[in-house]
Amino acid sequence: MIPLSHYLLVSAILFCIGTTGVFLRRNVITILLSIEIMLNAVNLSFVAFGRQMGTVDGQIIVFFVMTVAAAEAAVGLALVIGLFRHRESLNPDAFTSLKW
């Protein structure tokens, strides 16, 4: 059997990869993908903890996270389309009109 700590370690590594992507990438779509990676890392630890406790609550929270991720992807991609229509670019540094 696999120790719980290994699942948590995989989850932590995936979360770090996602965070790195948000900070390093200069493309709005890739930043949204990195957020999806982070959500999935958290899902993995939810399922692992739920298995450890022997309850279904961990799995149910994963469903809610998936729903929120779907809503986030829909609104986020609509924003990306709107931004691209105005600026012809996906670089977040191009969207600085509201910056003080």
Partner 1 sequence: MPETLVFYLLSGLAIVASALVIGQRNPMYSVLMLIASFGALAGLYIQLDAPFVAVAQIIIYAGAIMVLFLFVVMLLNAPTEDGADWDKAHPLQLPAVTRLGSMLAVLLVIQLAWALMEAADINGPVAGQTGAAAVSSVRQLGRTLFTDYVFAFEATSVLILVAMVGAVMLARREGERS
User: What sign results for the dihedral spanned by CA atoms 27, 33, 36, 40?
Assistant: negative
Q: Which residues bind partner 1 (CB under 8 A)?
A: 1-10, 12-14, 16-18, 20-21, 24-27, 29-30, 32-34, 36-37, 40, 43-44, 47-48, 50-57, 59-60, 62-64, 66-75, 77-82, 84-85, 89-91, 93
How far apart are the C-alpha atoms of 42 and 60, rounded to whole Å?
13
Question: Minimum distance from CB of 100 to partner 1 (Å)?
Answer: 14
Minimum distance of partner 1 from residue 66's CB (angstroms): 5
Give the pair of three-digit tokens for residue 61.
Answer: 């929270």
